[in-house]
């Protein structure tokens, strides 16, 4: 029994809790829609690319956090988190049709994403 509790605690400490991932996904979807609306050079053509982009953003953020320990939120780790967020926003376009962003758009998007992510409960990225 005790070994099972230790494993569950270890999984939760590493951020593998499915409810946390689901909350991140939902928050990422909302924040991404708001960010794309307000950011020049950032376009999402519909709901399917929006959901796909939110999935990719959630996965890329999770993998980055798992491998490097860097939290890809512009307010989480200062300049490192900001750069990671901009790169993730930019890289997502290579995985999703209907999602396009310029380099400048990804930088502006990371700023807006960070502001909206800060204001909305739940961690998007």
pLDDT in tens, 45-102: 999 999 999 999 888 877 887 787 765 555 555 777 788 889 999 999 999 999 999 9
Most confident of 6-20, 22-36, 49-63, 108-122: 49-63
Per-residue confidence (pLDDT) for residue 10, from 0 to 100: 46
Looking at the structure of the chain, the number of domains it has is 1
Task: Give 35's contacts (C-beta < 8 A, 6+ positions apart).
Answer: 42, 89, 109, 112, 113, 116
Is residue 31 scored above 70 in pLDDT? yes
Per-residue confidence (pLDDT) for residue 45, from 0 to 100: 94
Per-residue confidence (pLDDT) for residue 106, from 0 to 100: 92
In a domain, 27, yes or no: yes
In a domain, 3, yes or no: no
In a domain, 7, yes or no: no
Is residue 7 scored above 60 in pLDDT? no
Instruction: Kindly state the DSSP code that residue 92 receives in the 8-state scheme.
Output: G
Identify the domain containing residue 113 by its residue range. Answer: 18-119
Average pLDDT over residues 19-30: 80
In a domain, 31, yes or no: yes
In a domain, 2, yes or no: no
Task: Give 68's contacts (C-beta < 8 A, 6+ positions apart).
Answer: none
């Amino acid at each position: 029994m005790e070994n099972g509790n230790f494993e569950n605690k270890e999984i939760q400490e590493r951020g593998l809790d499915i409810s946390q991932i689901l909350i991140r996904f939902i928050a990422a979807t909302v924040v991404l829609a708001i960010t794309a609306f307000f950011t020049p050079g950032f376009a999402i053509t519909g709901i399917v690319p929006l959901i796909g982009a939110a999935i990719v953003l959630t996965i890329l953020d999770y993998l980055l956090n798992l491998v490097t320990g860097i939290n890809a939120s512009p307010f989480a780790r200062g300049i490192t988190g900001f750069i990671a967020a901009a790169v993730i926003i930019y890289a997502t376009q290579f995985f999703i049709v209907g999602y396009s962003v310029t380099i400048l758009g990804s930088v502006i998007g990371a700023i807006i994403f960070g502001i909206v992510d800060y204001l909305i409960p739940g961690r998007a990225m």
